[in-house]
Amino acid sequence: MALTNYRIIHEVPGRLRLRIPALGEPGCEAGALEDWIEAAAPTREVRANRSARALIIHYQGSDEARQSLLRRLEHFSTEPIPGYSEGDVHEAEIAPMITTLFTLATLPFLTPPMRVVLTFANVGSTLAKGADTLIHEGIKVEVLDALAVGLAAANGKLFTANLTDLLLDLGAFLERRTQRQSDRLLRRLLRPDPAMAWVERDGELVQISGDEVCAGETVVVGVGETVPVDGHVIDGLALVNQAGVTGEDVPVRKEAPARVIAGSVLVEGRLRLEATRVGEDTTTARVSRFIQTSLAEQAATQCLADELADKRVYLTLGTGAAVYALTRDLARLQSVFLVDYSCALKLGTPVAFKSGMSRAAEHGVLMKGGEAIETLAEIDTLVFDKTGTLTHSDLLVTDVVVLPGSCACTETELLAMVASVEEHASHPIAQAVVEAARERDLAHISHGEVDYLVAHGLQAEVDGGRIVVGSRHYLEAHRAIDFQVHQAQIDALQAEGKTLLFVGNAEGAVGLIALRDSLREEAPAALARLRALGIKQLIMITGDRREKGEALAAELGLDAVYAEMAPEDKASVIEGLQRAGHKVGFVGDGVNDGPALAVADIGIAMPRGADIARATADVVLMDDRLQAVADAREIAHKTMRLIQQNFTAAVGINTGVLTGAVLGWLSPVASALLHNGSTIGILVNALKGVSLEAESQGQGSMQTPPLALTHKVD
């Protein structure tokens, strides 16, 4: 059901105040609605008041921006988010605290019997919760709280009982708010945006819900509109803001045949797209499922924290029993029972993991739960598949060599001639040659019908003669064109790690076109940063010839290179490193990288990778940059360090409070205040999360906008 029952109470330019009767009801939580509106491009600030059923929106832009916000509000779905518990995001209740404050203010004016009745009525919920926990779950912290409050009330210390109950409620309130805030960092990742779509059907432009678009249909997107599906540009030119998808806050230029991702917003221009992924196959829906799976994953560190927290409840109970046996002092017993380790240990760890996942998403990285963060922080070896990771997938023409003897053409004429023939092929080398000719504005040369032999080469009539283009094997073995006399030039180019395209005609060898993967400009800096972050071995796997692989490895300063590798052998390399005692991560993007990603301790998939690569990986990059791998490692390492610091603080502070309670230095009220205060401090520290070194030095980062990921990249 869409949210349409609202009215505008008041508005001024740039600000709307709305009355929403459904606000606060199941499926229309205040936090979820704020997240939904915040994701819109014109939004500056949003505040939802559950009690007043009101929503205040501050925005920038004209009436068109206002209308887009109201349309977005109408599209807010009140259906529960799959994989997300609405109970986790309910506003923390303050009614118990108000009741307790009223009780404390009233006690001095009541008779002694009435004070007892009012006190037990006020603390009854705490006592009942403790009894229910004892019956159904055993000895937990709720049991200790009930014992502490109940003993104070039974001993006639009514003010202490009520004040202790107030502090317990306040601590629970703040803990729930802190935990809710950590969930809110990720909740906006889970609600797919049902953007409306303008689709060309039967010669007309009709508007439908984005999830109703069919693959292959033509979608038209205008200024201020959200791209509803993944697709390729058919025609048009536009600036597209992908901040809600990749975190990149600088609009990018899109024109045919560029790929556009669902969730992007058009800032300027107009595009016609061919829908390639729709409905549940869109980037937004797929990453939503990824995050849902991530939240269900529980890391070993979190399991250990839960186990230790439960054990320390028994420690507190045993300590209290021993203290009472020795001192017969109920006040000391109450003080001891009000100290527990479980809150800080059990809540601090998942909050830190969620904060780490959120921070990673801000930097273009999706992590599959706390286990991925934990493992990524532990690896000592990182293996890269070369193409698409250390290098861009696209090849570049580096040299055009005219060989003496068989052709009187120039380098420019040779390139134009080969490009005119290669434009009929679709493989990467052909595309690179055609693109090189296009960049030089070379004219197309007329030619006859092209004969194409798959995986070998092609030939065609050009200017009354036949030109043959392809691999050396094809030209020498199939067309009897000998290149042996030019071996020195061939060896020199191949020694530089270049791929060669051979050109010949009826008279013999004509020329060579050398191509090379374009090394990512950021690769050296990213690899150096990974070493600084504790990665001891950087290794490359490639199917290229050994000379080419070793040339690139030497350029990048890699520790080892496995060249001429068949796809099925990649996983065996990873397993060999693991048998040698290394904790191994693998970075890849291809269909044949699936086994290696699965067998590695942590698999990292590049954003342009195949579906199987992304499905197998533990970490998926949303932004096509190698520095994102280093960002992920740094965030993982610092998150684990934060968890360890919080763990040490929780144990140390609560042990100190417990010691003070045992020695009688702390009253029950002081014990509750110190314990809850330390817990809140640890949770806030976990929620604050970590920052990257560049941010802490004031240099900023490539991906630093606040999370608005209702939309994502695959």
Where in the sequence numbering do the catalytic residues fall?
A: 385
d(CA 284, CA 263): 7
- Residue recorded with tokens 């915040």: 38
Burial class (CB in 10 A: 0-12, 13-18, 19+), 446: exposed
**Secondary structure (3-state) at 195:** coil
In this structure, what token pair is assigned to residue 169? 């409620």
d(CA 379, CA 537): 10
d(CA 485, CA 257): 42
In this structure, what token pair is assigned to residue 291? 């995050």
What is the bridge-based pairing of β-strands 381-385 and 584-588? parallel
- 585 with 604: CB under 8 angstroms? yes
b/e burial code for range 543-574 (CB count within 10 A of at least 16 → b)? bbeeebbbbbbeebebeebbbebebeebbebb
Nearby residues of 294 by Cβ (< 8 Å), 6 or more positions away: 357, 366, 367, 368, 369, 372
- 100 with 122: CB under 8 angstroms? yes
- Residue recorded with tokens 């390492």: 637
Count CB neighbours of 11 within 10 A: 12
Q: What is the DSSP letter of 624?
A: S
- 539 with 600: CB under 8 angstroms? no
d(CA 673, CA 661): 12
d(CA 185, CA 30): 14
Query: What are the backbone dihedrals phi and psi of residue 105, each rounded to the nearest 5 degrees, phi first?
Result: -70, -25
- 668 with 152: CB under 8 angstroms? yes
CA 155 to centroid of chain Cα atoms: 54
Q: In the chain, what is the straight-line distance between the N-terminal and C-terminal CA atoms, in Å? A: 28
**Secondary structure (3-state) at 227:** coil
Query: What are the backbone dihedrals phi and psi of residue 24, each rounded to the nearest 5 degrees, phi first?
Result: 100, -15
- 168 with 142: CB under 8 angstroms? no
What 65-68 contacts at long range (C-beta under 8 Å, 24+ apart), as own/partner pairs, is: 65/224, 66/16, 66/42, 68/40, 68/41, 68/42, 68/224, 68/225
